[in-house]
Structure 1
């Protein structure tokens, strides 16, 4: 575990393996660098995996309440510079996928490639306005309560019913580390982000990786990302929900490895 300071914020991160650098960007809802354990275990033999705790997640400092998606992207760029990574590949899941797109939009020379898993072009850029409003209202109300009272109802949106019970329990344990105030900041950033204008200009290799049973970011969202990003690849993981890196770790890791190997 390491830590650096970027724009006055302490950012925690984990590093595993050696080889081509691959930045891992977790989702919201209390997730942090620990959610990439299935990738640490499998991909460290070939890649230098660096997973951060985004501002307001895990062991990192909470950002100002005014933080936007652009601010998260600029902090990420500062983080990459602070740890001295040469032009990394960038893999983002859910919120992390939107963040990867925002990073490209503001710092296009930084990522070597993009892997967008269960991603959005921001909620405003991928979901109907009424659905965005529904999510914001529901989460804003729930987050004021003890995590154990409301987090379990979001689990079906993360994993399918066929996910092992132990995996569901581990996922809830991860989510229970949520920073309530900072998660509202992340929620607003995600809800307001519309990154569709970036998509046609992406000229680096891009893999869109999506579970066909994803209830949080429906497959139609992934297909639209693929349609708008020139020369992107779309891989659909059958029978898999939103947290594809956990629920189908072997298939997920194999697709990531195949994609990155092909770039060499």
Structure 2
């Protein structure tokens, strides 16, 4: 059974959730996309090998983590996360980041080369210097309206998320679990990472890295994952026939891929 914690580090507080694992390996820390609470990743956590301990958290300004007085850059959030993990008694960890959380995961791995054992980057890119999505897609990302208005979310789901979300009858994995977030917290997440890029330090990330990329991702075109696979010294790229939310909509297929990678075994790619 998962256990929630409110972890205080200095003047900051992070809501964190631990799903205990039955194995002895390091925990997998999950960094979420922008503006959504940790519950959104439940489908993936539920599908993940029970031997793997899963640690998820709400980024500052999201869900149960209070909005900071000023925007926090990735470097500060990565340091805050590291301190919170230490308070929970964790040493070495594996880290998975999706979308906005993928940038945080890259920063965490760079700042903690000995503490971060393996890295999983899903539907993410290198920040300011990336192959961008189309302008008519990115404009919908400037506000949290898609997280707060179910009717609007359904109208734009296919356009912005692609993949299975192009089916108008597909379940909405974000609206099913997310509570309306703070507009100020969302804006601070955007402002805190404005101008950030991992391009200068990607070649310095030596951890084994798994890149998961959807073949129909309007927000983060697959060209970004291919570029990152070339720049990271020890990377494996696995693509899947879905869009930006493939980690949730294809959790039963992708969770075993992640587990195999963390175990250091040969990866069985998703069935197409």
TM-score tier (shorter): 0.7 to 0.9
CA separation in 1, counterparts of 2:181 and 2:156?
13
Contact (CA 8 Å) 1:200, 1:230: kept in 2 or not?
yes
Change (3 A) 1:164 1:70: same
Question: How many residues are matched?
Answer: 257
Change (3 A) 1:33 1:230: same
Change (3 A) 1:223 1:3: same
Contact (CA 8 Å) 2:75, 2:107: kept in 1 or not?
yes
Change (3 A) 1:163 1:16: farther
Pick one of 49, 62, 75 that aligns with 2:67. Answer: 62
Q: Which runs of 5+ in 1 are unaligned?
A: none
The CA deviation at 1:45 is 1.4
Contact (CA 8 Å) 1:163, 1:247: kept in 2 or not?
no
- 1:178-257 mapped onto 2 (5 Å cutoff): 178-237=181-240, 239-257=241-259
The CA deviation at 1:263 is 6.4
The CA deviation at 1:235 is 0.5
Q: Match for residue 174 of structure 2?
A: 171
Contact (CA 8 Å) 1:155, 1:172: kept in 2 or not?
no
Q: Match for residue 105 of structure 1?
A: 110
- 1:30-45 mapped onto 2 (5 Å cutoff): 30-45=35-50
Q: Check if 1:126 corresponds to 2:130.
A: yes
The CA deviation at 1:53 is 0.8
CA separation in 1, counterparts of 2:67 and 2:49?
29
Change (3 A) 1:144 1:96: closer
- Paired residue secondary structure (1:45): coil
Q: Check if 1:79 corresponds to 2:84.
A: yes
Q: Match for residue 147 of structure 1?
A: 148
Contact (CA 8 Å) 1:101, 1:198: kept in 2 or not?
no
CA separation in 2, counterparts of 1:256 and 1:145?
28
Change (3 A) 1:40 1:145: closer
Change (3 A) 1:185 1:131: farther
- Paired residue secondary structure (2:229): helix
CA separation in 2, counterparts of 1:59 and 1:105?
27
Q: Match for residue 11 of structure 2?
A: 8
- With the length of structure 2 as denominator, give the TM-score of the two structures: 0.84
Q: Match for residue 96 of structure 1?
A: 101
Contact (CA 8 Å) 2:32, 2:97: kept in 1 or not?
yes
Q: Which runs of 5+ in 2 are unaligned?
A: 267-272
CA separation in 1, counterparts of 2:156 and 2:63?
19
Contact (CA 8 Å) 2:95, 2:105: kept in 1 or not?
yes
CA separation in 2, counterparts of 1:95 and 1:78?
20
Contact (CA 8 Å) 2:62, 2:182: kept in 1 or not?
yes
- Paired residue secondary structure (2:107): helix
